[in-house]
Every structure is written in structure tokens, then in C-alpha cells.
């Protein structure tokens, strides 16, 4: 427990094998450690805890109280040394000056004291220590793991330890397959805890409720969702082609952005509708449940037919009160004609987060503003035939090109091929994250080329 008198606590080791895994016992982790303690009258304990000379000498073990009451009314202030010889000179001086007596105190440590990592390092076979699960991904009350085959014999112990140790976790699951199905959902096995996958998760000051086993959700995309939403102006309209349960659409709606949000998975749609209601953005966010290609084709026409409400600048309570006061002072202007903004009928952004195949959907943009698609109308009053009036497309994708320049070339080529036209003007590429050792996720943002939007279909 100590090296040269300085306290070091070590979790008792009990290595398991695939055969002995059923013998796991929480009692294995009981141990005792004896430390030095300063015995002082009760009124002096607080002073000692504040003393600069003891800053590096007081016990600092998580969950362990540093001041222990004694039967005679005095207090033991615990130190992080096991022998007097290990005390720092300034601590020795203080104890001598104040005539403080040192004694020993034994701490009982048990299973509850050790961290998840401590327990894994104590029970897993030596050859599994390096890659042992750590830094657990969570969504709502679920901790989700992706265990490699060699950890599978220990999966229930791993699940139980995480459940025991992480206070907000009520379910631990292991994802069973790779995410290559149509709706990007994982099959999962419950390792410990409740068989309940319906979670509540906060992101960007919004609350999302969904069944983690039936819809796509990735908490690692939090910053990417926030990044893109921040680029929208509150008066914009966004069409989210693969919206999931709404992590772009709902926070955008909260900022005043009007949104058409679509997902083909009926469960994603159902939960997205709930999230729109729960986060009070029903006026601004409309949900659809159709194939992304069809959604892209009809989105512009839909918005011309049924525009979304105009942007209402957010007013603070103080501004609203000041407005009311000034109206009261000017009776002649009781109902002033505030110029209202027109309803929103033009799409400013398309968001396409289905990185595996989103690029393949880009052909659907051909002719979205053609008179055939727009129902024989002339859309040029809304979308001028010039690049700056075209919607931006934010298309997520993967590439195996790991250098930025090569990734850019690869992605641009695939986008242009799918759309059947070169990109014009505004194009930017944002590296989102590395998803596998040789696979990166990017977001390419570009103006829809005029020729593509107005192409005859």
C-alpha cells in the first residue's frame, strides 16, 4: 500500500479466465489501509484542513472522509502518508509548533471504493488489460459498448460493474452488429440492468426522447449538429432530408429557423414528431416520413404551396414590456401597423446526414425548380436564376482518403458525378471525425448549381 511511506492504494487483483468468470465476487475487493492521522480538538480540525502547510499532506482519496470523530470528542484529520518519515518538512514543523499528536487510522476499502477501470484492471486476463473498455459512451440512461470478441466471455461482469459504478446508468448494452442496415440502427444485447431502451437525452438545450434500439442516435455528433445549426440564419428555411429524431431540426427550430424534416424510418418519424411537440417548435418544424429522394424532389414545391410562418425576431421580456409601456403612453397608436415579414417559401439549406449513401441521392436535385416539378409555375420570383439565390446543400459522406486535399478531390468528384454537373462558386469541406482507422467523415457544403436546379426533368 505504500512506497517510502507515501500512500498508494491498489485494488486487490483477482484475475478471471473464461472458465472462472462465474466466480466473480464483490468481496474480493475488500482491503484495509493504515494511514497517519493528526489528532486534534474538534474546534481545530477545520483550521488544520485549511492550513497551507498541509495542502500536500492531507488525505485525498475519493469518497473517503478526511475528518473522523473520536469517542473522546476530538477529531482525526487523515493524512496521505503511512510513516512519519514521509511527512513534508512544513507539515512536521506545523505539528511540532502546535503540539499535535500523530496516530494511525485504518481505512476499510471495498468494492464501492474502486473505479470501473480499477475493477477491470484487477479481474481481466493480462492480455486484455490494454484494450479494456473505458470512457463509456452513453445515451440517456444507457451505456453502450462495442466489445471485441476476446472480451465476450467477460461481458456480463463488464456490464454489471458499469451498472454498479455509473450512477446515471440503468441499462448496459453491447452492440451486436455493424451499422449497415437501412435505418442505421444497432441490434443490441442487454448486459446488465433494465430491458428499457426508451431514453431521454439532452442536446443543444433541447430534450430528445426515443427508443435507442429502433432509431439512429449518435451523441458524438453533438458538436457537428451545433456547428451546422449555428451557420443558419434565424430567418432561414432548412430541409433536413435524413432528419432522424430531430437533432438538427429541433435546435434549428428553437433558434427561429423554419424546417421541413424528413425520415423514412417510421419510428424516427414518430419520435421526431414527439420531440417537435415536446420542445415547442410545432409552428416552425414540419415532419415527413418518406424516402429522401422523393422528399428532395417535392420540397421546393411543397414550400411554395404551403409556406412556413414568417420569422419573428425574439424579444426579451424587458423589450416586450418597454413596447407595451410606449403603446400605453401613445393612445393614438394603440394598434400600430408593425410591418410583418412575409411567410417563408424559399429553401435556404438542404441537410443530408446519411454519410454512407447521401451522395447517391444528389441526382434527385436535378430539376427541383423546373416548371414540371414546381407545378407549371414560375419559381424565379422566389429563386432567382443566379448562384447566390440557390439553396446550400450540406452533404455528409465518408472517404478512405486520409489527407485533406485528396479527400476533397475524392468527395468533389463523387458529388459532381452524382449531380451530373460541376460545382460552382461556394464550396467548403468540413472534417467531422475519424470513424475507423482508415475512414473519415466529412460534410461538404455547396450551392446547388443553377443548371441542376432548373434542369428539365
Ligand X SMILES: C[S@@+](CC[C@H](N)C(=O)[O-])C[C@H]1O[C@@H](n2cnc3c(N)ncnc32)[C@H](O)[C@@H]1O
- CB of residue 138 to ligand X, shortest distance in Å: 16
Closest contact distance (angstroms) between CB of 319 and ligand X is 34
Point out which span in 134-142, 215-223, 301-309, 385-393 binds ligand X (CB under 6 A). Answer: 215-223
> What is the rounded CA–CA span in Å between residue 364 and residue 391?
14
User: What contacts 24+ positions apart, CB below 8 Å, involve 264-267?
Assistant: 264/182, 264/183, 264/289, 264/290, 264/291, 264/292, 265/182, 265/183, 265/185, 265/214, 265/215, 265/216, 267/183, 267/210, 267/211, 267/214, 267/215
Integer angstrom CA distances of residue 214 from 245, 266, 269, 295: 11, 10, 11, 22
On whether the CB atoms of residues 321 and 356 are closer than 8 A, the answer is no
Of 263 and 270, the one with the shorter C-beta distance to ligand X is 263
Between CA 165 and CA 168 the distance in angstroms is: 9
Q: Cα separation of 197 and 267, whole Å?
A: 13
Query: Does the footprint of ligand X cover residue 398 (CB under 6 A)?
Result: no
d(CA 255, CA 226): 11
User: Are 185 and 179 in contact, with CB atoms under 8 Å apart?
Assistant: yes
Q: Does the annotation list 112 as a binding residue?
A: no
The residues with which 261 forms a beta bridge, in sequence order, are 240, 287
Q: Is 437 exposed, middle or buried (0-12, 13-18, 19+ CB in 10 A)?
A: exposed
**Binding test (CB under 6 A) with ligand X, winner from 253, 292, 391, 449:** 292
Q: Is 248 in the site for ligand X (CB under 6 A)?
A: yes
CB of 417 to ligand X, least distance (A): 19
Figure out which of the listed residues 159, 247, 251, 253 binds ligand X, where binding follows CB under 6 A: 247
Among residues 244, 253, 391, 449, the one that binds ligand X under rule CB under 6 A = 244
The stretch among 244-252, 315-323, 341-349, 372-380 that binds ligand X (CB under 6 A) is 244-252
DSSP state of 394: E
Q: Does 365 bind ligand X (CB under 6 A)?
A: no
| Piece of the chain touching ligand X by CB under 6 A; list 62-70, 104-112, 239-247, 298-306 | 239-247
Tell me which of 80, 141, 184, 286 binds ligand X, using CB under 6 A.
Answer: 184
Part in contact with ligand X (CB under 6 A); list of ranges 95-103, 214-222, 319-327, 422-430: 214-222
**Closer Cβ to ligand X, 215 or 369, answer by number:** 215
Closest CB to ligand X among 292 and 449?
A: 292
Query: Closest Cα partner for 436 from 389, 388, 399, 385?
Result: 399
**Of 118 and 263, which has the nearer Cβ to ligand X?**
263
Residue 9 CB partners (closer than 8 Å, separation 6+): 1, 31, 33, 61, 109
Q: Binding of ligand X at residue 397 (CB under 6 A)?
A: no
Is 263 part of any known ligand binding site?
Answer: yes
Contact 37, 68 (CB under 8 A): yes
The residue nearest ligand X at its CB is: 244
Could you say which of 54, 119, 192, 221 contacts ligand X (CB under 6 A)?
Answer: 221
Sites for ligand X among residues 260-289 (CB under 6 A):
262-265, 268
Which residues are at the interface with ligand X (CB under 6 A)? 182-184, 216, 218, 221, 242-244, 247-248, 262-265, 268, 291-292, 353-354
Residues belonging to the binding site are 225, 263-264, 291-292, 353
Amino acid at each position: 500500500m505504500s512506497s517510502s511511506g507515501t500512500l498508494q492504494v491498489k485494488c486487490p487483483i483477482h484475475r478471471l479466465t473464461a472458465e472462472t468468470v462465474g466466480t466473480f465476487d464483490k468481496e474480493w475487493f475488500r482491503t484495509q489501509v493504515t494511514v497517519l492521522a493528526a489528532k486534534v480538538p474538534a474546534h481545530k480540525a477545520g483550521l488544520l484542513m485549511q492550513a497551507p502547510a498541509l495542502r500536500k499532506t492531507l488525505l485525498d482519496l475519493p469518497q473517503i472522509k478526511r475528518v473522523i470523530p473520536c469517542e473522546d470528542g476530538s477529531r482525526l484529520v487523515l493524512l496521505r502518508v503511512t510513516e512519519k518519515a514521509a511527512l513534508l518538512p512544513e507539515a512536521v514543523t506545523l505539528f511540532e509548533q502546535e503540539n499535535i499528536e500523530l496516530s494511525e487510522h485504518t481505512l476499510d476499502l471495498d468494492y464501492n471504493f474502486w473505479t470501473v477501470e480499477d475493477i477491470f484492471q484487477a479481474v481481466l486476463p493480462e492480455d486484455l488489460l490494454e484494450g479494456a473498455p473505458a470512457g463509456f459512451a452513453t445515451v440517456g440512461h444507457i451505456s453502450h459498448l462495442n466489445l471485441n470478441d476476446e472480451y465476450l466471455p467477460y461481458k456480463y461482469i463488464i456490464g454489471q460493474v458499469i451498472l454498479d459504478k455509473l450512477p446515471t446508468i440503468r441499462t448496459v448494452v453491447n452492440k451486436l452488429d455493424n451499422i449497415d442496415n437501412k435505418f442505421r440502427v444497432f441490434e443490441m444485447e442487454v448486459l446488465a440492468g433494465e430491458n428499457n431502451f426508451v431514453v431521454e437525452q439532452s442536446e443543444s438545450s433541447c430534450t430528445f426522447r426515443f427508443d435507442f434500439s429502433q432509431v439512429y442516435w449518435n451523441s458524438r455528433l453533438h458538436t457537428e449538429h451545433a456547428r451546422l445549426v449555428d451557420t443558419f440564419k434565424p430567418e432561414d428555411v432548412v430541409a433536413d432530408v435524413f432528419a432522424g429524431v430531430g437533432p438538427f431540426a429541433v435546435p434549428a427550430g428553437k433558434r427561429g429557423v423554419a424546417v421541413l424534416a424528413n425520415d423514412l424510418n417510421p419510428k424516427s418519424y414518430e419520435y421526431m414528431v414527439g420531440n417537435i411537440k415536446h420542445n415547442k417548435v410545432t409552428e416552425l418544424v414540419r415532419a415527413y416520413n418518406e424516402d429522401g429522394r422523393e422528399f428532395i424532389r417535392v420540397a421546393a414545391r411543397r414550400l411554395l404551396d404551403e409556406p412556413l410562418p414568417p420569422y419573428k425576431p425574439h424579444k426579451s421580456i424587458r423589450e416586450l414590456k418597454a413596447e407595451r409601456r410606449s403603446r400605453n403612453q401613445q393612445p393614438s397608436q394603440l394598434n400600430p401597423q408593425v410591418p410583418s415579414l412575409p411567410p417563408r417559401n424559399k429553401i435556404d439549406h438542404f441537410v443530408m446526414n446519411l454519410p454512407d449513401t447521401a451522395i447517391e441521392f444528389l441526382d434527385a436535385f436535378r430539376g427541383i425548380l423546373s416548371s414540371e416539378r414546381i407545378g407549371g409555375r414560375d419559381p424565379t420570383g422566389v429563386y432567382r436564376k443566379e448562384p447566390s439565390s440557390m439553396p446550400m446543400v450540406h452533404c455528409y459522406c465518408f472517404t478512405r482518403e486520409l489527407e485533406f486535399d485528396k479527400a476533397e478531390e475524392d468527395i468533389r468528384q463523387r458529388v459532381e458525378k452524382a449531380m451530373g454537373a460541376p460545382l460552382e462558386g461556394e464550396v467548403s469541406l468540413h472534417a467531422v471525425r475519424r470513424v475507423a482507422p482508415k475512414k473519415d467523415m466529412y460534410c461538404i457544403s455547396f450551392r446547388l448549381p443553377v443548371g441542376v436546379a432548373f434542369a428539365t426533368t
